[in-house]
Amino acid sequence: MKIIMLGAPGAGKGTQAKLIAEKYGIPHVSTGDIFRANLKAGTELGKQAKVYMDKGELVPDELTVKILLDRVAQEDCKNGYVLDGFPRTIPQAEVLKKALAELNDDVDFCINVDVPDENIIKRMSGRRACVKCGATYHIEHIPPKKEGVCDNCGEALILRDDDKPETVKNRLDVYHKQTQPLIEFYGDKVKNVDGTKDMKAVFDAIVAILG
């Protein structure tokens, strides 16, 4: 079972990807994790990616797909995988589709965790983080015992720049322009789930689709 996770930033697709991986015994393949692993191990592909990253440039789609295919060719992916964070654009999806087709392979499902923009802005702008120990909270869903203070270490909690409404709006604009068209690209493979529900309800809906 080969699955691609789709959804806007803050929709909760990363959390659901981990739950799917756990239930079905398949790896959660995050492009960020793969890059870090290749850089740390000093692989040939990692060295090629580092050249771009050191210049502050994006790693080309072809190289990203090579690194991804190298990962999914490993033994633990033989029964499938959950792709999280890739593809993000139509060109990336086209490169991935072509590379998989050359291996007589394709993805089985694209799970789209659907959440309206206003919900995401509210959800993300309610996050608070501790700069000292890294603990995270939410003013509505996981509030600290004392407002604005970390339960773990007593330091002040902050609203990270990434979670500020204006930043979230910008990220959502990029998502609508670049990533949302993938829903049309993948057509019948796309299965929509209502991401506004609680985490368990969303997961139950995904399991009903995957079987």
Q: How far, in Å, are 67, 81, 86, 93, 130 from residue 97 at the CA level?
A: 15, 15, 12, 6, 41
Is 36 tagged catalytic?
Answer: no
Q: Please state, in angstroms and rounded to a whole number, the distance separating the CA atoms of residues 114 and 189.
A: 15
Is 71 tagged catalytic?
Answer: no
Q: List the catalytic residue out of 13, 66, 71, 128.
A: 13
C-beta of residue 90 within 8 angstroms of C-beta of residue 187: no
Q: List the catalytic residue out of 18, 50, 88, 164.
A: 88
Q: List the catalytic residue out of 171, 189, 191, 197.
A: 171
Q: Please state, in angstroms and rounded to a whole number, the distance separating the CA atoms of residues 145 and 15.
A: 24
Q: Return the amino acid letter for 131.
A: V
Q: Please state, as a whole number, how many other Cβ atoms lie within 10 Å of the Cβ of residue 184.
A: 9
Is 13 tagged catalytic?
Answer: yes
Q: List the catalytic residue out of 66, 71, 123, 127.
A: 127
Q: What is the CA radius of gyration of the chain?
A: 18
Q: List the catalytic residue out of 18, 160, 164, 189.
A: 160
Is 88 tagged catalytic?
Answer: yes
Strand 136-138 with 127-130, pairing: antiparallel
101 burial level (CB within 10 Å; 0-12, 13-18, 19+): exposed
Q: Please state, in angstroms and rounded to a whole number, the distance separating the CA atoms of residues 38 and 31.
A: 11
Structure tokens at 2: 């080969």
Active site residue ranges: 13, 88, 127, 160, 171
